[in-house]
Amino acid sequence: MSVNKNYMVFSGTATKYLAEKICQSLGCPLGKLQITKFSDGEFAVSYEESIRGRDIFLVQSTFPNSDNLMELLLMIDGIAKTSLVCPLEQSWLPTC
């Protein structure tokens, strides 16, 4: 069976372990992403490899604080700036 590996999985800082397990299950490496936190509370996100022409999956929790949500939004913004069509689908998993 031929599997199309034209996708990449990236993780924010809150869900690195989960993303590694997802990648292990899919048989693909975790994408290289640099998230820099500055002393004034700002964030910068940069993709360390080419994402053009790929399907991108972002794994990031939005709980418990707004920093996680901001990381996710900046990761989405980085994808959008590569001139890709970016349909957004959110999957919500309940947490206790």
pLDDT at 2 over 50: no
Kindly report, residue by residue over 59-77, the tens digit of the pLDDT: 988 887 788 888 888 888 8
What is the percent of the chain with per-residue pLDDT over 90, rounded to a whole number?
Answer: 20
Residue from 28, 53, 85 nearest 11 by CA: 28
C-alpha–C-alpha distance, residues 79 and 96, integer Å: 31
C-alpha–C-alpha distance, residues 51 and 84, integer Å: 9
Amino acid identity, position 59? V
Phi, psi (deg, nearest 5) at residue 44:
-135, 135
Kindly report, residue by residue over 24-54, the tens digit of the pLDDT: 998 999 999 998 889 998 888 888 888 888 8
Burial of residue 52 (number of CB atoms within 10 Å: 0-12, 13-18, 19+)? exposed
